[in-house]
Chains A and B, each alone.
Chain A
Amino acid sequence: MTWIPNWMHRLASPPAFYAFAGRLQPWLWGASAALLGYGLVGGLALAPADYQQGEGFRIIYVHVPAAWMSLFIYTVMAGAAVIALVWRIKLAECVLTSCAPVGASFTALALVSGMLWGKPMWGTFWTWSDPRLVSELILLFLYVGISGLQQAITDPRAAARACALLAVVGFVNVPIVHYSVEWWNTLHQGPTITKFDKPSIHVSMLWPLLSAALGFTTFFAGVLLQRVQNELLWRERGNPWVKEAIA
C-alpha cells in the first residue's frame, strides 16, 4: 500500500475522518442550500415554459438531478466497495453501507418523478417495455438489497464484505441504465445535456438544472458524512476518541 499517499492514510483513520467530516459539513449544507435555492427559483419561475411540454417540463429540475444522483451514488458506493474488498479499510466499509439508503431514496425519487412526468406526456405512469425504466427499477432493488443485507448480518465487517460484493457485481447495471436510451429504442427520450455536441436545451433552462444537480450532490455529500460519522461512532464505541467526540 506504499503508493497510497500518507495524508490519505491519516485521513482514513476514524478519529481524523470524524473531525474532518465535522468541519466540512457546514460548508456543504450552505452550498447545497444556495444551489438548491437558485435551482428552485430558476426552475419554477425564471425559466420559460417548454414549447412542447408547457409548464409540465419543470419536473426536469427534480427528475434529472435525482436520476443523476442514483447513478453517481452507486458509483461512489462501488468505488468504496472495491477499496473495502481489496484493502479492508474500515472507513470505506462505512462509506459503502452509508451510501445504500441515500441512493435508494434518490432512485425512488427519480422513478416517482419520472412516473409523474410520464403520465401527462406519454399517457402512462409505467411501462415494462422501456429498458431505461426497468434498469432504473433494478438499480432501486440493488440499493434496497445492499441495505437489507447490511441489516441482516450482525457482524459489521462480514456485513460490509457481503454488501461490497453485491455492490461490485451490481455495478454492471450502471452503464446499462446510462446507455439504455441509446442502445435500445425507448419511450424515454435520449440525453439532452450529456452529449458531445451542444446540449439541446436553452441556457435559461440549463443553469437552474446544473445548479439543482450540484445542490443535490452537495446535499448527498453532507448526508453521507453525517451517516459515516454515525457508523464510525458506533463501530469504534469504547475507544477514547468516541468518548471525547460525544462528550
Chain B
Amino acid sequence: MSDFLNMGGYAVYVWGSYAAAAAVFAWNLAVPLLRRRALRRELHAGQGEAS
C-alpha cells in the first residue's frame, strides 16, 4: 500500500495531477448546480419579468 502511495518516488507529481483533476471535476459539477439553485430561488421570487 505504501508502495502504491509512493508511486516510485513520483508521489507528489502523480497525486498532485490527480488532485488537480478531482478539483476540476468538483468545480464543474458544483458551479452549474449552485447556479440552478440560485435560478430557482430568483425565478420563484420574482415570478420572472419578461426578458
Instruction: Using CB atoms and an 8 Å cutoff, list the residues of chain A in contact with chain B.
Output: 44-45, 49, 54-56, 58-59, 62-63, 66, 101-102, 105-106, 108-109, 112-113, 116-117, 119-120, 219, 223, 226-227, 229-230, 233-239, 242-243, 246
B21 touches A242 (CB 8 A): no
A246 touches B44 (CB 8 A): yes
A56 touches B14 (CB 8 A): yes
A112 touches B17 (CB 8 A): yes
Complex contacts, B50 vs chain A, CB 8 Å: 237-239
- How many angstroms from the CA of A174 to the CA of B31 in the assembled complex? 26
B17 touches A113 (CB 8 A): yes
Within 8 Å by CB of B20, from A49, A113, A237, lies A113
A230 touches B20 (CB 8 A): no
A119 touches B18 (CB 8 A): no
Our count of residue pairs bridging A and B at CB distance below 8 angstroms stands at: 96
* Additional A-B contact list (15), CB under 8 Å, known A55-B14, A56-B10, A58-B7: A54-B8, A55-B7, A56-B14, A105-B28, A109-B20, A112-B20, A119-B13, A226-B32, A226-B36, A235-B51, A237-B48, A237-B51, A238-B48, A246-B40, A246-B44
For residue A98, which residue of chain B has the nearest CB? B32
Please give the distance in Å from B45's CB to the nearest CB on chain A.
11
Most chain A CB inside 10 Å of its own CB: which residue of B7, B28, B33:
B28
A56 touches B43 (CB 8 A): no
Interface pairs A-B: 5 shortest CB-CB: A55-B8, A237-B48, A56-B10, A238-B50, A113-B17
- How many angstroms from the CA of A151 to the CA of B2 in the assembled complex? 47
Complex contacts, B49 vs chain A, CB 8 Å: 237-238
A56 touches B48 (CB 8 A): no
B24 touches A230 (CB 8 A): no
A109 touches B48 (CB 8 A): no
Complex contacts, B7 vs chain A, CB 8 Å: 55-56, 58
A113 touches B29 (CB 8 A): no
Can you list 26 A-B pairs with a CB-CB distance of less than 8 A?
A44-B18, A45-B4, A54-B10, A55-B7, A56-B13, A56-B14, A59-B17, A62-B18, A63-B17, A102-B28, A105-B27, A105-B28, A109-B20, A113-B20, A116-B16, A116-B17, A120-B13, A226-B32, A230-B35, A230-B39, A234-B39, A237-B46, A237-B50, A238-B49, A246-B43, A246-B44
Please give the distance in Å from A47's CB to the nearest CB on chain B.
12
Complex contacts, B8 vs chain A, CB 8 Å: 49, 54-56
Complex contacts, A56 vs chain B, CB 8 Å: 7-8, 10, 13-14
With A109-B20, A235-B51, A242-B43 as contacts: A116 and B13 at CB distance below 8 Å = yes
Complex contacts, B21 vs chain A, CB 8 Å: 62, 66, 109, 113
